[in-house]
Structure 1
Amino acid sequence: MKIGFNLLLWTAHVEPRHWPILEDLKRCGYDGVEIPIFEGTPEHYAELGRELDRLGLDRTVIALFPGTEMNPIGAEASQQEAGRRHMQWILDCSAALGAKVVGGPLHSTLGHFSGDAPTADERARGIAFHRDAGDMAKARGITLVLEAVNRFECYFVNTMRDLAGYLADVDHPNVAGMYDTFHANIEEKDPIAAVAAIAPHLAHVHVSENDRGTPGKGHVDFAATFKALKAVDYDGWITIEAFGRSMPLLAAATRVWRDLFPTATEVYSDGYTLIRDGWRAA
């Protein structure tokens, strides 16, 4: 198991001015960091990758489809093509960074709603898209990890059962799934049992408290979560994802209207200890 931290707590675009944060995370004990790829060029991420190599930090990537014009499940051929171009850009930047895992709600446009449940046609378009995307990822030695998100952010896949069924139909070795404690807390009738539902496809885990604040300061049952992960022989990344109010646009997108923790240091120091000790005790 490796412990990571998502840089979205500070920024949607990691630049040299954020490198002292990377040094702090390394000193804290983290094995790696999760880098948002929302803008930039492969050259930018190659430079960042060299800095991570210097620090001895491994890396994963978080990405998404920000607009309906590139919606992978959209009905228009132009949406499909734009989605493929966007995915190719994400994968090129991720390869330059040296990342082997690229995760996020990479199944549909985040925050877009049709006003109805997902249709059979949308599902078929998504499956075709992700088989192509899986081939693109395989060529770069990357695994795509799709994230089911709650009903207030997405309508396409909300639960581990939804996601597992979809991934079974995609049936590509380089397209897998993620378990996120925040979304599971909202959508699953039994968040702990849901780990077993996604287990055949599980390749990444996000630790996030029920309020997106400091892990262990809310009501998510992390002790039971770690036991459930060990029970299915999970041995990949456990990455903390927390959100604050330092960036107004990101705070608005993640619906963070109040301070959820006193300092960012508390989030990553207490969060690291929670995972390290909780995993040992599980």
Structure 2
Amino acid sequence: MKVGMNLLLWTGHVTQADRDILQALKDTGFDGVEVPVFDPSDVSHYKALGGILDDIGLERTSVTIIPDAQHSPISDDPAARARAIDYLDRVIECSVALGSQVLVGPWYQPLGVFSGEGPTERELANCAQVHGAIAGKARAANLACALEPLNRFECYLLNTCEQTSAYLDRLDEPGFGILYDTFHANIEEKNPVGALRTALARGHVNHVHISENDRGTPGRGHARIAETISVLKEVGYDGWLTIEAFGKALPELAAATRVWRDFFPDREQVYTEGYAYIRECWARA
């Protein structure tokens, strides 16, 4: 098991200017960081960032989203799906340049865009066509892919582990799995830990976000983080446990994630207490 930290707590575009926080995360004990790849226009930027992270000694995963409806994998417009394929191709290139091990996130539909009903068969088929088109490139690069089911207030295509497992069966592409997030599971799953057990039994979980019920400091809320970690240790999970927390530092992200108030006194509490809590839960599991 490795402990990571999602860098969206600080920025949506990591640069050399963030070196001090990267070093602080390394000094805290983190094995790696999760780097947002929201602007895949410059592969050289991520290659240079990978060199910085190598120097510090941090491994990495990467996270992306679908930027807008014009790049939507679920769209009936072939041009939009073509743009989605091009966008995800470039995200993969940037992730490989970065040295990422896993590409994670809800990269199946634009966030906050709703049809007024649940996912249709056609939308699921459209999405599978897009993901199928980029799967070979990710596989050739040894880059695992983890799709994150989100709560119903942020998206509608994939809200639960069961829905995501069914989609993975449809897609049938090696290397694709589920990003299990304790925050979203706390909202959408009738039994969050049971849903995790089922997804693990199907071999579908390949990344985990440790996120508190209020998006704040892990261990200071009621999300079933300790029970989640216990199950993961029980089954021999050896992937990432990556802390994801959001504050008001990034107004656009705060608006998208509905963060209207502070959930912690400072970001240092999030990563120091969060890291200690994960290690403590793992040790006593």
Give the TM interval when normalised to the shorter protein.
over 0.9
Secondary structure of the 1:239 match is: strand
Counterpart residue identity of residue 24, structure 1: A
Specify the SS of the correspondent of 1:64: coil
Matched residue, 2:207: 204
Cα-to-partner distance string for 1:217-249 (whole Å, 9 max, x where unaligned): 101122211112123332100000000111222
User: Which has the higher mean CA deviation after the structures are superposed, 263-272 or 110-119?
Assistant: 110-119
1:102 deviates by: 0.3
Tell me, in whole angstroms, the C-alpha distance in 2 between the residues paired with 1:119 and 1:250: 28
TM-score where L is the length of structure 1: 0.98
Shift of 1:197: 2.3
1:96 corresponds to: 97
Aligned partners of 2:106 and 2:225: how far apart in 1? Answer: 23
Shift in Å at residue 210 of structure 1? Answer: 0.2
Give, as a single letter, the amino acid of the residue that structure 1 aligns with 2:16.
P
**Sequence identity, in percent?**
47
Query: In 2, distance between residues paired with 1:17 and 1:32?
Result: 18
Q: Secondary structure at the match of 2:192?
A: coil
Aligned partners of 2:186 and 2:224 also within 8 Å: no
Q: How does 1:46-195 map to 2 (within 5 A)?
A: 46-195=47-196
Query: Aligned match of 2:238 in 235, 240, 243?
Result: 235
Paired residue for 2:5?
5
**Structure 2: which amino acid aligns with 1:64?**
I
State the distance in 1 between where 2:226 and 2:250 align. 31
CA contact (8 A) 1:135 1:174 kept: no
Map of 1:267 onto structure 2 = 270
Does structure 2 retain, via aligned residues, the 8 Å contact 1:163–1:198? Answer: no
Give ranges in structure 1 of 5+ residues lacking alignment: none
- What is the identity, as a one-letter code, of the residue corresponding to 2:195? A
Q: 2:222 corresponds to which residue?
A: 219
1:169-202 Cα offsets, whole Å, 9 max, x none, are 1111121111000000000001110111221111
Shift in Å at residue 128 of structure 1?
1.9
In 2, Cα distance between equivalents of 1:50 and 1:241:
24
Contact 2:182-2:210 within 8 A present in 1 as well: yes
- What amino acid sits opposite 1:235 in the alignment? D
Q: Give the corresponding residue for 1:248.
A: 251
Matched, 1:28 2:31: no
Partner-residue secondary structure (3-state), 1:192: helix
Q: Does 1:18 align with 2:18?
A: yes
Name the SS for the 2:213 alignment partner. Answer: coil
Deviation at 1:50, TM superposition (A): 0.2
Moved over 3 A (4+): none
Deviates more, 1:227-236 or 1:101-110: 227-236
Unaligned 5+ segments in structure 2 are none
Which stretch shows the higher mean deviation, 268-277 or 224-233? Answer: 224-233
TM-score by structure 2 length?
0.97
Is the 8 Å Cα contact of residues 130 and 175 (structure 1) preserved in structure 2?
no
C-alpha contact 1:164 1:197 (8 A) present in aligned 2: no
CA apart distance, 1:60 = 0.2
SS state at 1:3 partner: strand
1:130-165 Cα shifts (integer Å, max 9, x gaps): 222211211222111100000000000100111111
Q: What is the CA–CA distance in structure 2 between the aligned matches of 1:232 and 1:106, rounded to whole Å?
A: 27
